[in-house]
Amino acid sequence: MPQTIAVLDFGSQLTQVIARRIRECQVYSKIYHYSTPAAKLREDNVAGIILSGGPQSVYAKQAPHPDPAIFQLGVPVLGICYGVQLMGYFLEGEVEHSKAREYGHGHLTIKKPGRLFAGLPKKLRVWNSHGDKLTKLPPGFRSIGTTENSPFAAIEDAKRNFYGIQFHPEVFHTERGADMIRNFLLGVCGVKQEWTTREFVDHAVEKIRAQVGKGRVLLGLSGGVDSSVAAALLHKAIGKQLTCVFVDNGLLRKGERAAVEKLYGDHFHIDLRVADAGKLFLRRLKGVSEPEQKRKIIGRTFVEVFEKSLKSIGHAEFLGQGTLYPDVIESVSIGGNPAALIKTHHNVGGLPERMKLKLVEPLRELFKDEVRRVGEALGLPREVVWRQPFPGPGLGVRVMGDITADKLEILRNADAVLQEEMLSSGYYYKVWQSFCVFLPVRTVGVFGDERTYDYVIAIRVVESTDAMTADWAKLPHELIQKISSRITNEVRGVGRVVYDVSSKPPATIEWE
Ligand code: XMP
């Protein structure tokens, strides 16, 4: 086991971001419950402790407090935000309770770089979000940095290797924050950088094996990045004990099912079952044109088909899921937020409880870009690892209004042309999403000598970093022209192509 940094979690949403920054330094960390006994940390031989932030006041009735003996372990401690107030509280400084939170940018002036701020400029913009404030240093400490609002924005006890920072070094808004964490890990704790993606994979494989034993794991494979990486990782860990289920809902893009069968079945030799449910989905969707209604039908039918195929596979104890850390945050904290709604389709709801399945979620602590690196390390091809997002309801929300097999066919053919051109021009990997939308509007045109009266395809290409906001992509005119003429020439039923020049907000990325 590599050297471990313990992150004690006092309830901050940023705890996982701290863990991520540590991973970025190629150091292994483990998140512990805030009340973990010091003896346990000693037993785990931790090389350093980071106290996370937290929403509480140290004086609150329910305030999470650590085992005070952690300060006697003889290992370095870094307190962040709430963590520094805990140091003040437990090491005999003074902490002032404040009802108002200080929130936003501050300016740090480094007075003494010491080991924590080694190599950093004297003045840095930092990000604050705290209520209580340290007002008197604990004995043995000195201030090493100030902000406009605090003479004790950064403190150290170099003898005991205790450090505290009032602001959040883990967020991007804090300039050089990652270097502060790096300095703590390498300079103060003296750990080696040996935790790489390879290491992560090996460790995850061991963990999966330990959890699953000889049991059987079922996994719903969508073909997207998360479930693909989860499948490859589970397969590496438990081989034939994994069975994947892919639901063909009839709303997939051209060649999608064949690609999944080829990669997972032929290449990885994963036990892959395909539920052929296109007809059922189309039957249920017949005549339905309201977008949320369509989503509901697709979601419900998906769960039903998925559950049925799991039952037909036979007994299993575990359900694998490609849950990532941002999904975990969404589902616990942002009730009612549309971002949380996005996942409803993939969320198999009460299924694990109903079928008495235990969850195996090997990517639960990772962020998307880390999952992509894991995918690469597992040998997944670029077009899977760097695939653009695709909504769960698939082409169902890209055919405007009611869905028919004919409309789907037109959309599929047009979309295939677009993807081909995006890939061959290299733009596919430069944009966030690129897709076609079927508009059930017929317009007049001429083809040869004949008058035509055909449908419209809209092209939607956007740039974004998180899908919360997006800009329409300024593709070269020649490329748009090529896509347009190929679609009108090659796809029967399309007489006109339009390019969507709306940004989000106010438009959403998908049209429905
Ligand atoms: P919007 O259209 O809301 O999309 O700007 C933001 C991101 O979410 C995707 N999206 C969905 N994903 N089920 C999904 O799994 C859905 O119902 C859904 N609707 C939108 C969309 O492709 C974009 O990446």
Provide the pLDDT for residue 330: 53
308-364: per-residue pLDDT in tens? 998 899 889 999 999 988 776 655 433 333 333 333 434 555 677 777 899 999 999
| Cα 126 from Cα 175, distance rounded (Å) | 6
**CB within 8 A of 411, min separation 6: which ones?**
395, 398, 399, 436, 437, 438, 457
227-241: per-residue pLDDT in tens? 999 999 999 999 999
Provide the pLDDT for residue 102: 78
* Closest Cα to atom 7 of ligand 1: 467
Give 404: exposed, middle or buried? Use CB within 10 Å, 0-12, 13-18, 19+: middle
> What are the Cα distances from residue 130, in Å, to 80, 81, 96?
10, 6, 12
Provide the pLDDT for residue 351: 72
**CB within 8 A of 420, min separation 6: which ones?**
none
Provide the pLDDT for residue 356: 84
Is residue 467 in contact with ligand 1, taking CB distance under 6 Å? Answer: yes
CA of 450 to the centre of ligand 1 (A): 39
Q: What region, left, alpha or beta, does residue 223 occupy, with left being phi > 0 and alpha being psi -120 to 50 degrees?
A: left
Over residues 199-218, mean pLDDT: 97
Contact in structure between 436 and 472 (CB atoms under 8 Å): no
Side chain identity at residue 496, one-letter code: R
pTM score, two decimals? 0.85
Secondary structure of 159-186 as H, E, C letters: CCCEEEECCCCCCCCCCCHHHHHHHHHH
By C-alpha distance, which of 64, 151, 57 is closest to 99? 57
Is residue 460 in contact with ligand 1, taking CB distance under 6 Å? Answer: no
Over residues 101-116, mean pLDDT: 92
| Cα 52 from Cα 392, distance rounded (Å) | 35
Q: Please report how many Cα atoms fall inside a 13 Å half-sphere around the Cα of residue 17, on the Cβ side.
A: 17
Which range among 125-134, 319-328, 463-472 shows the weakest confidence by mean pLDDT?
319-328
Q: If DSSP codes are grouped into helix, strand and coil, which group holds residue 393?
A: coil
Residue 148 has pLDDT above 60, yes or no: yes
Residues acting as catalytic residues? 81, 168, 170
Prior bond of 381 cis (ω within 30°): no
CA of 462 to the centre of ligand 1 (A): 13
Residue 346 CA, closest ligand 1 atom number? 15
Provide the pLDDT for residue 333: 39
Is residue 396 in contact with ligand 1, taking CB distance under 6 Å? Answer: no
Prior bond of 37 cis (ω within 30°): no
Provide the pLDDT for residue 51: 98
The DSSP code sequence of 170-234 is: TSTTSTTHHHHHHIIIIIIS-------HHHHHHHHHHHHHHHHTT--EEEE--SSHHHHHHHHHH
364-413: per-residue pLDDT in tens? 989 899 999 999 999 999 999 999 999 999 999 999 999 999 999 999 99
Contact in structure between 414 and 484 (CB atoms under 8 Å): no
Identify which of 293, 398, 510, 511 to mutate to test ligand 1's pocket (most ligand atoms within 8 A of the CB): 510
Q: If DSSP codes are grouped into helix, strand and coil, which group holds residue 128?
A: strand
Secondary structure of 56-98 as H, E, C letters: CCCCCCCCCCCCHHHHHCCCCEEEECHHHHHHHHHCCCEEECC
Is residue 176 in contact with ligand 1, taking CB distance under 6 Å? Answer: no
* Closest Cα to atom 14 of ligand 1: 391
Provide the pLDDT for residue 337: 33
The pLDDT confidence band at residue 267, using thresholds 50, 70 and 90, is: confident
Is residue 409 in contact with ligand 1, taking CB distance under 6 Å? Answer: no
Q: If DSSP codes are grouped into helix, strand and coil, which group holds residue 469?
A: coil
> What are the Cα distances from residue 359, in Å, to 132, 146, 220?
39, 46, 12
By C-alpha distance, which of 8, 171, 150 is closest to 78? 8
Which range among 31-35, 194-198, 296-300, 364-368 shows the weakest confidence by mean pLDDT?
364-368
User: What domains are defined for the chain?
Assistant: 4-188 (3.40.50.880), 197-385 (3.40.50.620), 398-499 (3.30.300.10)
Provide the pLDDT for residue 9: 95
Q: What are phi and psi of 477, to 5 degrees?
A: -60, -35
166-181: per-residue pLDDT in tens? 999 999 999 999 999 9
Provide the pLDDT for residue 473: 98
Is residue 391 in contact with ligand 1, taking CB distance under 6 Å? Answer: yes
